[in-house]
């Protein structure tokens, strides 16, 4: 990790991403001047952790910071951006899907700071290994943003908007959809009075395998073996749940190919 050159930062947002990012930036030695959220409770909850001022009105935003980070829901970014007007302060959003261009009328220097990770307010994460995908409107802004990102992560990547969108779809499959597979398994077990704990070592090992291996080569189970008897038995067990049967069939067929 690079030696941080401490920045004055404003966090716009106080959700999962803002919370974990705010904590990481604070720990890296940056000053978080303000945390904005329309909810006073949310703004305060994060602000106290990182010695910032909580604000609930964008008009109270100080202009003396050097970096403004918008970490809010994707569909609210453009609306918030329209209410911001800076001279040359660096303005970034943290979204995997929103175009960098939505910020172009809000400052001379703007970009994207997308940490490729899943965040919860309550679960601490180690930013050091999280890929931070950056993009900015000029070479010099890119350099500034890269230096800044390196103050919290050893894995900073220049990724343009179209690549970032592909990464985001990839993340939906790899994270959101795999988590949903866990959730389906948990529901199945729970319906039959079996503890989800039984599957936890399996889930951890399945994820751990891809650290060193191509997931295509690590595929196991009845579908890849084309074990029709087992798949038929599984579909019979799932008979009560039509949708689950369809999901089972569809994914199994896709694995076979």
CB of 220 to a second copy, least distance (A): 5
Which of 203, 239, 240, 242 touches a second copy (CB under 8 A)? 203
**For residues 39-98, which are near a second copy according to CB under 8 A?**
73-75, 97
248 forms part of the interface with a second copy (CB under 8 A): yes
The strand ranges marked E within the chain are 8-12, 31-36, 53-55, 67-70, 90-93, 109-115, 132-136, 156-158
Which of 94, 117, 144, 151 touches a second copy (CB under 8 A)? 117
Q: CA 10 → CA 146, 148, 168, distances in Å?
A: 18, 14, 25
Structure tokens that stand for 85 in this block:
């007007």
Rank residues 29 and 221 by Cβ distance to a second copy and give the closer one: 221
Which of 23, 133, 145, 156 touches a second copy (CB under 8 A)? 133
Q: Which stretch, 4-12, 36-44, 138-146, 205-213, contacts a second copy (CB under 8 A)?
A: 205-213
**For residues 141-170, which are near a second copy according to CB under 8 A?**
155, 157, 159, 163, 165-170
2 forms part of the interface with a second copy (CB under 8 A): no
How many angstroms separate the CA atoms of 57 and 84, rounded? 12
**Size of the residue set binding a second copy (CB under 8 A):** 91
124 forms part of the interface with a second copy (CB under 8 A): no
DSSP state at residue 84: -
Q: Where are the alpha helices (DSSP H) in 134-226?
A: 139-150, 161-171, 178-191, 200-209, 222-225
């Amino acid at each position: 990790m690079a030696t941080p050159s401490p920045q004055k930062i404003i966090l716009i947002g106080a959700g999962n991403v803002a919370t974990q990012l705010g904590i990481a930036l604070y720990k890296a030695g940056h000053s978080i001047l303000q945390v904005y959220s329309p909810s006073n409770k949310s703004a305060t909850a994060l602000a106290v952790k990182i010695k910032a001022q909580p604000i609930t009105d964008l008009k109270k935003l100080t202009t003396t910071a050097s970096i403004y980070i918008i970490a809010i829901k994707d569909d609210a970014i453009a609306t918030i951006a329209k209410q911001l007007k800076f001279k040359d302060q660096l303005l970034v959003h943290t979204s995997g899907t929103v175009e960098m261009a939505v910020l172009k009328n809000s400052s001379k220097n703007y970009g994207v700071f997308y940490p490729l990770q899943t965040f919860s307010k309550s679960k601490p994460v180690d930013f050091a290994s999280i890929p931070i995908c950056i993009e900015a409107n000029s070479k010099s802004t890119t350099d500034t943003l890269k230096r800044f990102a390196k103050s919290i992560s050893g894995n900073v990547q220049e990724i343009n908007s179209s690549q970032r969108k592909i990464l985001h779809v990839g993340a939906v499959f790899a994270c959101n959809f795999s988590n949903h597979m866990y959730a389906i398994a948990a529901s199945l077990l729970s319906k039959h009075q079996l503890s989800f704990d039984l599957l936890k070592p399996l889930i951890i090992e399945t994820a751990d395998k891809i650290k060193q291996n191509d997931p295509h080569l690590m595929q196991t189970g009845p579908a890849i073996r084309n074990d029709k008897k087992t798949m038929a038995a599984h579909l019979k067990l799932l008979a009560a749940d039509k949708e689950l049967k369809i999901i089972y069939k569809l994914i199994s067929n896709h694995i076979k190919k």
